[in-house]
Amino acid sequence: MTVSEHQMKEAIETLKETGVRITPQRHAILEYLIQSMTHPTADEIYKALEGKFPNMSVATVYNNLRVFREVGLVKELTYGDSSSRFDFVTTNHYHIICEDCGKIVDFHYPGLDEVEQLASHVTGFKVSHHRMEIYGTCPDCMKKQNVH
């Protein structure tokens, strides 16, 4: 069983436990999110799946993403005024974002968990979570611009 097959199986179990029916569209949206490393928007998911599900609407995609978010399978990433992007929740990871094309790439850095403990200790806050984003120019955009 591949990693994505294992993630799909666990995601379906989570949905069943919370009483969410597994429709063919739900299955396809979830599969797309798990296999996509691009943090797609709802429109991108819709465009990728409309051939397979001609009577599926963008609203269906949004509604399913909301359900996935509510049960904790998906994180909604909002960046300023651009469309929300959706990320299948795996382990804690961070994002580096290209300021030119908007591409979002995951990276892992376990050392930041200590920041929550320090913040809590210094301020007395009960920390629920943190979010960190790093911005720059991706290699593809640098090639286009000839910038190093």
Q: pLDDT tens digit string along 6-55?
A: 788 888 888 888 898 999 999 999 999 988 878 899 999 999 999 999 99
Query: Hunting for tokens 């968990």 — which residue is that?
Result: 113
- Nearest by Cα to 101 from 8, 29, 38, 19: 38
Q: Is 141 annotated as a binding residue?
A: yes
Query: 108 among the known binding-site residues?
Result: no
pLDDT at 124: 95
Domains of the chain in start order, with CATH, are 3-88 (1.10.10.10), 93-146 (3.30.1490.190)
CA–CA separation, 33 vs 43, rounded Å?
A: 13
The stretch 76-88 carries a mean pLDDT of 81
Other beta carbons within 10 Å of 114? 9
Confirm whether residue 138 is marked as ligand binding. yes
Mean pLDDT of 86-97: 78
SS3 assignment, position 138: coil
Looking at the whole model, is its pTM more than 0.85? no
Long-range pairs, 143-146, Cβ under 8 A, ≥24? 145/100
Express each pLDDT in 53-77 by its tens digit: 999 999 999 999 999 988 888 888 8
